[in-house]
Structure 1
Amino acid sequence: MIKEFKINKVVGFGKENFSKNDNLAIEEPLEISLKIASKTGIHPLSVTMRTPGNDRDLAIGFLFTEGIINQKSNLSGKISAQVEENKLIVEFSSEFNPDLQKLKRNFYTTSSCGVCGKESIEAIKQVCKIPILKPETSVKMETLFSLTEKLLNVQKTFESTGGIHASALFDLEGNLINYREDVGRHNALDKLIGSELLKYENEDFSLKNRIVLLSGRASFELIQKCAMAGVPIICAIGAPSSLAVETAENFGITLVGFLKNGNANIYCGADKLDLNLENEN
């Protein structure tokens, strides 16, 4: 979603300025609350700043990647209700009764949070239920090089604003399966994972044999979310952080950064890739 603003455009180091309309990505808060059959009342869980749209995907993806739910059957048939603008309630099934005290989220978002890399990785391992499996076939580098353009071709909000992130899901042949956009890179990924979980009818949800492409940098929390969903290969157009690489390595995830213009840095997991270019003899 976008909103139009009138701005003063300055060009040529101040030699010229003029008025024009500019499109910006909308950013608004979303309050996520829970309804649990065995507990009375509604229980607020989190407030996140996001781009409105696909709010149910965002809420479900957030609950899954934070280890609060494990599968679609944890949700009621109704799943969620948008009680008012920017407020959403997720309803759990009558058989699913999580401990509310365990729903308090630990935020590992900055290098100044005081949590070391080892502790962060171990925290994920305690809640991650899905093993990272090696894909059935090695992924060709030509396939990876094609992903960025395919994402840009469908990123309509980015084309209009230049200020929004995206996460995209591809199969091992490079076919685009799904994508989501948001002002927050973690929200875009939660929306993507949540939408895939809601489509999945079996108990053993996993994004095995899939590639995730991140439109920006690969931070720790994005690797964590992909690990929770069993993603074996993560590509980013930007750079990874050191903790992102360490996390990917610990979970057996292939992490590729700076994927653009026919170039790529493979930080770990090169064994899942076919590095032989087709035009080589």
Structure 2
Amino acid sequence: MGRVTQRRKVLRLSLDGQTNRRMDTLAAEEPLEIRLGAKAFSITMRTPGDDFDLVAGFLVSEGVVWEAAQLGAMRFCAGEDEQGRQTYNVIDAQLAPGVALPDTSLERHVYTSSSCGICGTASIDAVTKSSHFPILGADTADAGQDTGNDDGALAGNASPHLPLATLLSLPDKLRERQQVFDRTGGVHAAGLFSFDGELLCLREDVGRHNAVDKVVGWALREGRLPLSDTVLQVSGRASFELVQKAYLAGIPVLAAVSAPSSLAVELAEESGLTLAGFSRGNTVNIYAHPGRIIGAKVEIPL
């Protein structure tokens, strides 16, 4: 298996004239080729580790699978670097009988960077996908209706309410468990939490979208989809792509420590997903569907 971190020599400079050479720990970044039935499907740059989760989550994000039974065996294919060492940089995934291969017009045979996102509004219609797990309860929640339930759950099949204090606690809980970031300072994190604030799964990667795919892939392989009673907390910004990944996994709340993009907000509004940004300390901005958040008075409805 590829290494999560690598050591490199650096020269440290300062304005007071001090210089020294030292070893620094860097987050590893290596290519991963994803094949479906021995056919090339995508190449992405990622931090090695939890690669099967990454592939499974990527296939959910592409709308290829949405149930664990649809994804068959995954295996590393043989591959060596210049020193003859196994690279573990190619995974072949087998789909279950009856699961259709993706339309070739959607295949990504080109290089995908670890910071990849959706670029340009002209491609939005082509990449926007319909979820098999519609997010329920947003309209009822936003109407501010009192269901009378002591446990905070909305009526019918709606997702539960999320206490504001719990939402605000998630960035610190995520940061406390970022082991690779502590060693490198160079990776993103995505954490899946229950509405009670319990951490269910955390993944780190040089690519924020990879970290989310690893979390969703873990959930798929554990048979947990749809994730209708969870919150996805991410360490960076909230892009269109991250909202879509949450939507396709049935996650009703996505929270980020930084800003969302305009397209992320638009997709969240359309899909019924609660989108939070700048979640830091005692404050947070709610950009779409604030009704799921309880514990604070909303005087001006969105």
TM-score normalised by structure 2 residue count? 0.81
| Alignment partner of 1:82 is 2:76 | yes
Deviation (angstroms), 1:268: 1.2
| 1:57 corresponds to | 53
Matches within 5 A, 1:32-51: 32-35=34-37, 42-51=38-47
- Helix, strand or coil for the counterpart of 2:190? strand
| 2:294 corresponds to | 274
Q: Deviations over 1:8-34 (max 9, x none)?
A: 1112x3532211211110000000001
CA contact (8 A) 1:206 1:229 kept: yes
- Helix, strand or coil for the counterpart of 2:21? strand
For structure 2, list consecutive stretches of 5 or more residues without a partner in the other structure: 79-87, 138-157, 298-302
Distance 1:248 1:30 in 2: 30
| Alignment partner of 1:176 is 2:199 | yes
- Helix, strand or coil for the counterpart of 1:21? strand
| 1:230 corresponds to | 250
- Worse-matched range after superposition: 85-94 or 185-194: 85-94
Deviation (angstroms), 1:116: 6.5
| 1:139 corresponds to | 162
Matches within 5 A, 1:21-170: 21-35=23-37, 42-76=38-72, 79-84=73-78, 85-98=88-101, 100-101=103-104, 103-105=106-108, 109-111=117-119, 113-115=120-122, 119=125, 123-125=127-129, 127-134=130-137, 136-170=159-193
| 1:38 corresponds to | none
Distance 1:99 1:242 in 2: 29
CA contact (8 A) 2:159 2:252 kept: no
- Worse-matched range after superposition: 138-147 or 98-107: 98-107
Distance 1:99 1:159 in 2: 38
Distance 1:57 1:116 in 2: 27
Give the fraction of aligned pairs with identical amino acids, expressed as a percent.
Answer: 37
| Alignment partner of 1:10 is 2:17 | no
Distance 2:123 2:9 in 1: 45
The one-letter code matched in structure 2 to 1:172 is F
Q: Deviations over 1:180-225 (max 9, x none)?
A: 1100000000010001100007xxx201010000110001101011
Q: Deviations over 1:36-82 (max 9, x none)?
A: xxxxxx21100000000111000111011110123111122xx2011
The one-letter code matched in structure 1 to 2:217 is G
- Helix, strand or coil for the counterpart of 1:115? helix
Distance 1:14 1:221, change over 3 A: farther
- Helix, strand or coil for the counterpart of 1:137? coil
CA contact (8 A) 1:33 1:90 kept: yes
Distance 1:93 1:244, change over 3 A: same
Distance 1:24 1:150 in 2: 23
CA contact (8 A) 1:66 1:105 kept: no
The one-letter code matched in structure 1 to 2:65 is I
The one-letter code matched in structure 2 to 1:188 is A
The one-letter code matched in structure 2 to 1:91 is Q
Provide the aligned length of Structure 1 versus Structure 2.
Answer: 260
Q: Give RMSD over aligned pairs.
A: 2.1
Q: State which of 249, 266, 283 in structure 2 corresponds to 1:263.
A: 283
